[in-house]
Structures are given as C-alpha cells and as structure tokens.
Chain A
Amino acid sequence: MNYADPVEAARDAGKRTHHFHGGLKLKHNKHISCLVPVKRPPLPEFLVVPLLQHAGDVAEPFVKAGDHVLKGQQIGLCEPCAAIHAPTSGTVEAIENRLMTHSSGMTGPCVVIRPDGKDQWVELKPITDVLNTSSDSLINQLQECGIAGLGGAVFPTHTKTLDGRERQIHTLILNGSECEPYISCDEMLMREQPEKIVLGARILRRALGAEQVVIAIEDQMGAVQEALTYAAECAECTSILVVKVTKIYPEGGERQLIKVLTGLEVPAGGRPSDLGLVCQNVATAAAVADAVLEGKPLIERYITVTGNGILHPRNFLALIGTPFSHLVEACGGYTEDVARLVVGGPMMGYPVSSDSTPVVKASNCILALTQKDITTPQAEMPCIRCGECSRACPASLLPQQLHLQIRNSMWDEAQEYGLLACIECGCCDFVCPSHIPLVQWFRYGKGQLRQRAIETQATDIARERFEAREARLLRKKQERAEKMARRKQMLKDKVAHKTTANKPDGKEADA
C-alpha cells in the first residue's frame, strides 16, 4: 500500500467509513440477552482467581492460605504484567492448581477465596485531580489496578499505553463494535454507563498524549450512539467522535476496524501504532475510569450468559473468579438439550470442558449451545475449490490453497500465501460447503511454522557456534604454529648466538 503519509491519512479516522474485504453478515442473536438490565449475581460460595490472566507470566502471589483479604487488595503481581486483586473480602482457602478457563482443560495456580459476605473494601487510592497528574502516574495507576484489555486479548493496558505514548500515536480508537453473534456485554455497558466510557477515553487520551478519540459502535445498537455523544457533550469534550459502522463480522477485529475507519491497512507484521493509532475496548476504558477516578482495581466485568442452552439469557456484572456454574444458575440453569459450553462468541470462542472454571478478565461471554446449533449438515467432504472461503476471508487470503499446503506440509508455500496473517475469525470455516475444519488446520499450520522458525533459529545458533569453534580452533592452531615457529627461530638464534658468543669479541652477548 502506498500512501503519501499513512500516519497523516490516519488522522481522518472515522470521518467516513470504508469497507474491508470479505466478512459475513451473521444473524446476531444479541437481543435474547439484552432484554433485562444488568445485575450483580449473588456472591458465590467460593471465588477462584487464577494467577495467570494476562499475556505474560504467572503472577507471584502475596497471600497464603488462611490469610484474610479485603476487597480490592492486591494478591499477586508479575512485572511487567498487570496486578491481580481479591474480588471481595474473605479468607484465602488455598492456593492450588485448578481447572483454567482454557479449552485444553489444563490447570493452573489459583487463589481460592471464601467470601465473608461483608464486601469490605481495602483503602482505595483514587487520583482526583487527573488534569494535574502526569501521564506516568496515570499509567502506573493502571498497572496497580490490574487493568488489561477486556476485548479478549487481555494485553496489560499500561504496557500498551506506554508503547503508544512512545510511538507518538495521535488517535485512540475505542472498539465498541462487538461483532460476534450473541455477545452483548459491551452494548449493555455502553447503554448503561456511557459517561464512564467517555471519562475513561479522556483519561487514556491524556495518558497516551493522543489528540482525538474515535468510538466505533455498530449500526444496530440503537440509541447507544446518542447516549455516548450526549455523554461526550456533557463532558464538554469535542475531541471524541462516535461513529456507527455497518455490522459485518469480523469488523470488531482490530485490523478490520482500522480499515473501516481509516481506509488504511496495518502493514503485515506491523502494529496499529505504525499508523499512529491505538485500539482499546470500550469496557477497558470504563475500567480505566474506575481505576483512576475511584482507585478501584479490575475485579469485576460485564459478561453475557446466553445461547439456546440457557433458560433466561442475560448480562451480569460478575466478580472475577465467579464459577461459570454460579452464573448459569443465576440465569435459571441450562435447557435440556445443551451440548457445548463456549467462552466468547460462536465464531472465535473456545470450548471449555467444565462449567466449574471461573470468570477471568478475558471472559466476555458464556455461550451455551445446543446440539442443533453445533451440528453441521454433513460430514467433512473434500474441497471443491468453490472459493467461498476466499470470498469471505477478511485478510484476503486463499484458504483453499492454504488448506492444501498445510495438508501436504508445504510450509514454505503456506508462509508465502500468508498463513501467519490469518486472524482465525472462522469466516472460511463457516461458509465452507464441504465443512472442512479450516481454522483448526490453520492453527495447526501456524504452530508448525512457529516450530520451524524456532528450529531454524536453533540450527542457526548451532551453526554459528560450530563455525566460531572451528575458527577458534583454527586460530589456536595457527597461534601454536606461530609460537612453534617463533620458538624454533629463537632456538636457532640461540644456537647462532652461542656460536657468535664463542667468538672472541662477545659484544652481542652483552646486548
């Protein structure tokens, strides 16, 4: 892509909307969970707070079994990740390995807290005078409060903000286009707390040193645009633009949204900051407002519990660590034909093997699907190269070719055809008339490519080491040879010397 200056062009973000290649118009099914206001579920018997919730390493726990903790107390931290806090006051029952919110069914270290029912807060340290607070203190506050991207990637917000500030981004994009079907937690948040999102946006803009904020929402979200615009007007904030984008899955994907808002593409292998942009989820902005203005750490989040397998779907403001089963119970339980439990949406969500797993910062939706929902109309058939997949691919790839290349272990070709640019959105898989599990093939293929890269690196290092050793041995050999030669020379000299010393004048012997 050649633009005179893409960073300058990106300043027009949101002034007019553009299209991205591919994508799908999906039946959104969001209304089923939007009919009742969001509420907090009753306190569960136990809260299970995983120590690994962000991109990065497992947090080091500060507490031990038997300790009493207060709501909002920091219980774990791992530099440079975000901190982890106690979601309510109570006693630490244990720190042990529990089932994680992960499809592999792996376990990980969790702090198990038995709530005392008092919900007693730790002393909070809000920043009251934001305008006179430095960007550094704001960013530090975000780390202290454990703020991370709530859109699903849970990248620590302070790291992203620091990076954005360093790279002098000009526009903060708040992503409110919740494009996956069924999920409605961001929409409910924008409906119920637009002013908090606007506050968070202003704080983030200040911390980033950005000039403007663009909030992207979907065109089917009704009065959300008015609510946000009104909130921005009330705050007398003119640098916030609320933009409606046409609902096409997966426009909520960072790269697709940037294309829609700016008409520009993030360079392959690059990041949005290459265009002077940074994207945050709207829920993250609300969490930022809570963290800075009230000092409240990230201990609860909006979460949708929905699907045909749930009796009364709805949205909750749930504490981190609440077991899924507890939320499902608060929705009236499962229907009889429930068959699969998914965290996230039906397109990219991952299945879990048990509903005992807890809500984490990343969980935006618990989706219970019935057998009817997940049954494909036929078993897998061979690819007939119909091209539906490439028509649907938002990364403009050729999934049918990639599939063949992966099946035949043609790794160089797969890399050349952009396997690593696949965002695993599932569009190709969804439209495939042969019902080939393309996304699973691509995940496998990407794993193989990464493995290959590691191996190539390892062999490179080994080769370098080998060559260095060879060179060293050669050098030593040469040195030894030189030494020998020198010594020989010396001996020769000595002999010659002796013969001359035996001569009567003996002048040189003195020298």
Chain B
Amino acid sequence: MRNFEIGGAPHMSQQITVARVMLQVLLALVPGILAYTWFFGPGILIQILLATGFALLFESLMLRFRGQPLKPFINDYSAVLTAVLFALCIPPLAPWWISCIAMLFAIVFAKHLYGGLGQNVFNPAMVGYIVVLISFPQAMTAWLPPLALAEYGMGLFDSLVVIFTGHLPASLSWDTITQATPLDTLKTGVESGRMVSEIRQSPLFGEFGGKGWEWIANWFALGGLYLLYKRVISWQVPLAVIGSVVLLSLPFWMADPDGNPFPMQHVFSGALVLAAFFIATDPVSGCVSNRGRLIFGAGVGIITLVIRRWGGYPDGVAFAVLLMNMAAPLIDRYTRPRMYGE
C-alpha cells in the first residue's frame, strides 16, 4: 500500500508559457526592426534599449509597490514587448526622456494601476505613445528621411549623442535632416489642393507607401505571418484591419483618384501593418470571440482612415486602437459565440 498526493485534473499540460508567447511576438518583430535599422539608422535600436530599460524599471517599481513577486512578472517579457512596440512608433532620434515619460504612462498608469498583466483596458504601448505625441508634438514629429535620402552618415555614436544631448553633429541642423513623413506630406499636399499623383512625385514615396516604410511594413507583415502560422495571433484582426482599410478607401479612390491615395498606399503607410499584426492583436485589450475580433479589427481600420482623411493627425492608428479598446467589452457582450446545442 502506498499513499499519494492528489491534485486537480487535467494531470498534464502544454509546455507553453506566457513568456514564450511574448517571446514569439518579439521574435516576429525582428525582421521589421532590422529593416527599420537599415532604412533609418541605429537610432531605433537605442530607442528600443532605452524604452525597455525604463519599462523594466517602472515594472519592477510597480510590482514592488503592489507587493507582487518580481521574478515571474519581469520574466514574462510583457513589459519588454510594450517597450519595443512603443519604440517602433517614435522618431528614431527622439530625445531619451520621451521614452521615460511614455513608459511611465504605459507601465504605471495603463498597466499597473488597472491591475497589472492581463487587466489593462488600454494597450499600454499606445497609451504611452499617445501621451508623448500629444504632449511633445515637436519632438515626436522630427522624422528622418529614409536611407536613399539620408547621406549625413550618422552612425551609432552620433545617434547616441543626439538622443541624449540633442546636439547634432556640427555640419547638420534639425531643419536639414528632419522631413515630413509621407503621410504628412500627402495630407498637407491634398489639403492645399495638389493632386495625389503630383504629390507622389516626391522622392519620399516608393511603389506603394513611403519609401523605406513600405519595406519595413513588408517585413513586419512577414513576422505577422509567422505569428499566424504559430497560431499566436488569430487571422481575424489583421484581416479585418487591412481589409476594412482597403475596402473603405477603394470607393473614394475610384471616385476621385486625384484627391485620394489608392488603397495599397494606405496599407503600406504609417504604422498600419505593424498595428494590424502586432498592436491590434493584443489579446488583453482586444475582443475574445472571432466575430468580436473581426468587428474590433474593422473598427481600427475604419477609425484610422477617418483620422487620416478628416482628422488632425496624419496617422491615426494609435487613436483607433485606443478607441476600439474602449469598445471591446461592449463588442464582447454582443458577440458571444453560439454554444454547443444552443
């Protein structure tokens, strides 16, 4: 006769963990980050490290304040993911304190004050981004032109100096190196009555979207496909985001091709692809049912287009995601899937 400890069924489990899910998402971001570095220089890598450092700092402080164990939550990579997604949204030479303030809002306010991992209503990375975008518009719009135009030879060291001191190498000035983003150029151009085809003559534009941007978007999409293949994200959200943007911009473009960019340009501009695969797919602040995810994604796409076309900002993905985060619980309520036998 022998005695045994008891424990609840099921008596086995998959070897998957929260940390592994987050790591897979981070891994899927790598191609896009490399492309980003290629086109816009090493500044982005510094921003990622900075944001990650601040995110982990605030995460540990908040865990300490909340009396939570540090190790499992620091090791879950959720704060790192927030930081990386945020860093991918800001200009690569933005000053260091931008990351600090954004992560303060992302981690402390959007995440931990709502109850920490899994409890946040809003996407923390987007909250951080929106706070600094609204508060420091000048720093947040100092974008560089992509590779082919950037012949200033800013290396890693120069980027570090710029980010931490704000001083450019002697031969350069902010006015010469920063340029409006393609979306910005398009918006102001159309508003001043120029034709889209004319605006697109600018060297800022590539085949679809902005030069460089479209390739970064491609690589992000590739990472997104990897996540779909690994079933880390479901297909509903990216399909709905991109699908709704294409479907909604199509009639405008067909009616007036001079006043409206063609659908693929919308898709490959700004942060849309990144958002479709990596930001709107955040499960915590998104919808749970498949139908709900379709509605959520379509909402993100539609609001983005509306802001791009009629709003005050050249890109509206971040606002769209936060607005849909608000709607998610309501959507969930009305999209409960049919149960077996119901």
- The residues of A with any CB-CB pair to B shorter than 8 Å are 1, 20-21, 103, 105, 181, 255, 259, 265-270, 323, 325, 334, 338-342, 346-356, 367, 369, 373-374, 376-379, 381-387, 390-391, 394-398, 400-401, 417-418, 421, 424, 426, 429-435, 437, 439-440
- In the complex the two chains form, is A384's CB within 8 Å of B6's CB? no
- In the complex the two chains form, is B3's CB within 8 Å of A387's CB? no
Complex: how many Å from CA A429 to CA B337?
A: 19
Which residues of chain A have C-beta atoms less than 8 A from B66's C-beta?
A: none
- In the complex the two chains form, is B341's CB within 8 Å of A430's CB? no
Number of interface residues of B (CB under 8 A): 44
3 shortest interchain CB distances as A-B pairs: A426-B10, A382-B118, A351-B6
Residues B1-39 near A (CB distance < 8 A) = 1-21
Partner of A385, one of B9, B78, B116, B118: B118
Partner of A353, one of B4, B21, B332, B341: B4
- In the complex the two chains form, is B72's CB within 8 Å of A421's CB? no
Q: Say yes or no for B175: interface residue by CB 8 A criterion.
A: no
Q: Say yes or no for B339: interface residue by CB 8 A criterion.
A: yes
- The answer to whether residues A21 and B340 also contact, given A346-B11, A433-B20 and a CB cut-off of 8 A, is yes
Partner of B16, one of A181, A270, A383, A433: A433
Complex: how many Å from CA A351 to CA B341?
A: 31
- The answer to whether residues A381 and B283 also contact, given A340-B11, A430-B10 and a CB cut-off of 8 A, is no
- The residues of B with any CB-CB pair to A shorter than 8 Å are 1-21, 72, 76, 78, 116-119, 231-232, 234, 283-284, 286, 288-289, 332, 336-342
CB distance from A121 to the nearest CB of B (A): 30
- The answer to whether residues A390 and B288 also contact, given A266-B341, A334-B2, A374-B11 and a CB cut-off of 8 A, is yes
Complex: how many Å from CA A208 to CA B21?
A: 52
- In the complex the two chains form, is B10's CB within 8 Å of A325's CB? no
Complex: how many Å from CA A103 to CA B117?
A: 34
CB distance from B80 to the nearest CB of A (A): 14
Complex: how many Å from CA A253 to CA B10?
A: 15
- In the complex the two chains form, is B1's CB within 8 Å of A437's CB? no
- In the complex the two chains form, is B6's CB within 8 Å of A349's CB? no
- In the complex the two chains form, is A434's CB within 8 Å of B9's CB? no
- In the complex the two chains form, is B9's CB within 8 Å of A395's CB? no
Partner of B283, one of A342, A384, A421: A384
Partner of B15, one of A323, A377, A391: A377
- In the complex the two chains form, is A348's CB within 8 Å of B9's CB? yes
- In the complex the two chains form, is A383's CB within 8 Å of B118's CB? yes
- In the complex the two chains form, is A439's CB within 8 Å of B8's CB? yes
Complex: how many Å from CA A340 to CA B1?
A: 14
Complex: how many Å from CA A347 to CA B340?
A: 20
Which residues of chain A have C-beta atoms less than 8 A from B341's C-beta?
A: 1, 255, 265-270, 421
Which residues of chain B have C-beta atoms less than 8 A from A387's C-beta?
A: 234, 283, 288
CB distance from A351 to the nearest CB of B (A): 4
- In the complex the two chains form, is A384's CB within 8 Å of B117's CB? yes
Complex: how many Å from CA A182 to CA B117?
A: 36
